[in-house]
């Protein structure tokens, strides 16, 4: 038994207890708790202006690398600000991973990439207990080796190719911001931003993400192919991976946490909340839908709308924000009768619902 006596990392979020990343470099300490104003206090215009500035800088960073994907870049940044996770659904080779890399560089955080395969196990993602000699060389101690999920920005490629077990382990980590191995909870670094990708074309041989699983992603985007000019820019080397090394961090991790708090304090008027509720109701009563969007979906839409509002320098949400993010926030949450596992049908349904429900006004 002594052979397997365990040392555990403390659960308290002290900076000193930060686990060691597989690469060997120490993870940045999680930020100290921020004393932010109570949620009912509206964010001040200065705070919001800062979100807008940094959001703009982040979007510009992404654009400098990824050609012609402004909308996707904005949604990704909004998702980051809203403390949500992003699901990118597209064919391979359109810059999904690059997008996540730019983001991590621009926020000055760590970046890990996991490739989903059928034999990937939960431990490969979260990390496992490894026997390790202690200093005396006498006994073996079980020591937690953090998995690739311990990073500020994690890209999980082809999420639907890995088994549901691994998917759920990852998503639990994403949702809770913690990893529990052998009864001990390890906290993930803050901020934590998960970008998962799935390929909608090659559905065969995949495990469809369950309803619960997709519900954990705040938004789904589908960047699509670049236009001809943008593609030329990439091929000629004006855009792409080469520009990645020129990306300077535009915001520190601590500041990012502050920004996320600011976004949380963006006011959502009653009428807009009601509008979102009507939208959810419309997806539920739509004739092509088997299962409409959940309340969590509504929450995701609201926080994305908050982020968007802050990014244009507004301290309150207007229906236009909701309409701008609704498709991204809800498309993966509606189960369409004749859907084939991709979110294309969901997009059309949400677009339809947006046309049916009248936005509030004065």
Asked whether the beta carbons of 18 and 146 are under 8 A apart, the reply is no
CA distance 269 to 320: 13
For other proteins, the closer CB: 55 or 319: 319
Using the rule CB under 8 A, give the single segment among 64-72, 100-108, 198-206, 327-335 that binds other proteins.
198-206
Select 152 or 167, whichever has its Cβ closest to other proteins.
167
Q: Which of 315, 330, 350, 353 is in the footprint of other proteins by CB under 8 A?
A: 315
**Of 154 and 324, CB closest to other proteins:** 324
Based on the shown chain and the rule CB under 8 A, indicate whether residue 211 belongs to the binding site for other proteins: no
State the minimum distance, in angstroms, from the CB of residue 274 to other proteins. 12
Judge whether 100 and 111 are in contact, CB under 8 Å.
Answer: yes
Site pattern 77..116 for other proteins (x: CB under 8 A): ----------------------------------------
Least distance (Å) between residue 53 CB and other proteins = 19
Candidates 20, 142, 271, 299; binder of other proteins (CB under 8 A) is 271
Shortest reach from residue 120's CB to other proteins, in Å: 11
Sheet containing 86-89: which strands, arranged edge to edge? Answer: 111-115, 153-157, 193-198, 86-89, 219-221
Selected from 64, 163, 168, 178, the binder of other proteins by CB under 8 A is: 163
Residues 6+ apart with CB under 8 A from 212: none
Closer to other proteins by Cβ: residue 138 or 355: 355
CB 64 within 8 A of CB 101: no
* The two three-digit tokens of residue 271, written as one number: 């009428």
Segment 334-339 long-range contacts (CB within 8 Å, at least 24 positions apart): 334/283, 334/286, 334/289, 334/291, 334/292, 334/293, 335/211, 335/289, 335/290, 335/291, 336/288, 336/289, 336/290, 337/288, 337/289, 337/290, 338/288
Using CB under 8 A, which of the segments 55-63, 239-247, 249-257, 340-348 binds other proteins? 340-348
The string of DSSP codes covering 16-71 is GGPPBPTTSSBPPPPPPPP----TTSPPPHHHHHHHHHHHHHHHHHHHHHSTT-HH
Interaction between residue 121 and other proteins (CB under 8 A): no
For other proteins, which stretch binds (CB under 8 A), given 5-13, 51-59, 135-143, 338-346? 338-346
Q: 141: exposed, middle or buried (C-beta count within 10 Å: 0-12, 13-18, 19+)?
A: middle
Asked if 355 touches other proteins (CB under 8 A), the answer is: yes
| Helix, strand or coil, per DSSP, at residue 72 | helix
Q: Are 99 and 231 in contact (CB under 8 A)?
A: no
Interface with other proteins includes 37 (CB under 8 A)? no
Please identify, using beta-carbon distances, which residue of 45 and 185 lies nearer to other proteins.
45
Q: DSSP of 198-226, one letter per residue?
A: E-SS--TT--PPPHHHHHT-SEEE---PP
The answer to whether residue 71 forms part of the interface with other proteins (CB under 8 A) is: no
Q: Which stretch binds other proteins (CB under 8 A): 64-72, 210-218, 236-244, 315-323?
A: 315-323
Q: Determine which residue in the list 203, 232, 277, 291 makes contact with other proteins, applying CB under 8 A.
A: 203
Interaction site with other proteins (CB under 8 A): 42, 118, 163, 203-205, 207, 267, 269, 271-272, 287-288, 314-320, 323, 338, 340, 345, 348, 351-352, 355-362
């Amino acid at each position: 038994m002594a052979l397997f006596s365990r040392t555990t990392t403390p659960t308290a979020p002290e900076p000193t207890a930060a686990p060691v990343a597989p690469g060997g470099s120490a993870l940045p300490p999680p930020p100290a708790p921020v004393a932010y104003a109570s949620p009912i206090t509206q964010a001040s215009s200065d705070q919001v202006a800062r979100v807008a500035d940094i959001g703009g800088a982040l979007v510009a960073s992404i654009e400098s690398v990824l050609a012609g994907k402004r909308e996707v870049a904005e949604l990704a940044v909004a998702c980051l600000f809203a403390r949500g996770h992003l699901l990118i659904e597209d064919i391979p080779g359109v810059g999904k991973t690059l997008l996540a890399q730019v983001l991590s560089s621009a926020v000055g955080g760590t970046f890990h990439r996991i490739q989903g395969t059928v034999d990937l196990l939960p431990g490969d993602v979260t990390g496992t207990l490894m026997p390790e000699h202690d200093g005396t060389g006498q006994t073996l101690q079980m020591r937690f080796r953090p998995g690739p999920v311990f990073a500020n920005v994690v890209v999980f490629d082809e999420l639907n190719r890995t088994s549901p077990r691994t998917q759920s382990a990852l998503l639990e980590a994403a949702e809770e911001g913690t990893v529990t191995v052998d009864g001990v909870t390890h906290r993930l670094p803050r901020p934590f931003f998960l970008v998962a990708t799935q390929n909608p074309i090659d559905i065969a041989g995949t495990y469809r993400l369950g309803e619960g699983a997709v519900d954990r992603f705040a938004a789904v985007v589908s960047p699509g192919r670049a236009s001809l000019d943008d593609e030329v820019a990439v091929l000629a080397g004006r855009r792409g991976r080469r520009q990645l090394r020129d990306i300077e961090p535009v915001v520190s991790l601590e500041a990012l946490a502050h920004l996320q708090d600011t976004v949380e304090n963006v006011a959502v008027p009653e009428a807009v909340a009601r509008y979102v509720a009507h939208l959810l109701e419309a997806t539920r009563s739509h004739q092509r839908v088997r299962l409409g969007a959940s309340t969590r979906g509504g929450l995701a839409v609201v926080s994305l709308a908050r982020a968007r509002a802050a990014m244009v320098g507004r301290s309150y949400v207007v229906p236009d924000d909701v309409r701008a993010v609704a498709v991204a926030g809800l498309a993966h949450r509606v189960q369409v009768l004749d859907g084939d596992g991709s979110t294309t049908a969901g997009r059309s349904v949400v677009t339809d619902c947006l046309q049916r429900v009248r936005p509030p006004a004065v």
